[in-house]
Amino acid sequence: MKVLGICGSHRKESTTLFFLKKAMEAIEKEGLETEIITLHDKKIGHCTVCNLCATKFECSQKDDMTEIYEKMADADAIIMASPAYFAMVSGKLKNFMDRTLPLRRNGMKLSGKVCGAISVGASRNGGQEFVCRQITTWGGAHEMTAVTDKKNAHFGGIAWVPRGTKPEDDKIGIETCENLGKSIAEALKR
């Protein structure tokens, strides 16, 4: 079984990637295979609503999404991670989510898979729950089953990294991400 992690941060070595890696490490400890795709260096245009994907499994845009579609279809679970930008997913991740329409329109290729969410904010109440909700709503549109951290955060991995601190300082955030990883592994093993 394989879990695909998607990091929606615009930055290369982001705090979002740090917390996604914590979830993936917990999954690997459960004996599952993982892969992380970072979107910071990917060219992903916004959906132009050309509707080509309504007739065949293809997008009119020839960018980095083309290589990601197959990885998503082959994964058993997908975790998306995003910084909280005004209580919403990053623009990079929103484009990515919109561009998964060919996976839905051509046989619901993500249906039955497990979905998890991680969000990082610079303030304690920075909208992380809203970001996780957007991610799991996206998963629901693909008929995916959302799992969360059952112990601390009821939305997924929720992290808080105020200015001047390091991601390693947020012990609770790390724990929520590790618990999310464990929950995903449990769901896949069932």
pLDDT, tens only, 153-170: 689 999 999 999 999 999
Average confidence (pLDDT) over 131-158:
92
- For the chain, the structural domain boundaries read 2-45+52-189
Q: Collect all residues with Cβ–Cβ distance below 8 Å to 138 and sequence separation of at least 6.
A: 80, 97, 100, 115
Q: Is residue 141 pLDDT above 80, yes or no? A: yes
Model confidence at 150, pLDDT cuts 50, 70, 90, reads confident
With beta carbons less than 8 A apart as the criterion, state whether 153 and 116 touch: no
Whole-model pTM: value is 0.95
CATH of 2-45+52-189, one of 3.40.50.360, 3.40.50.800, 3.20.20.450, 3.40.190.10: 3.40.50.360
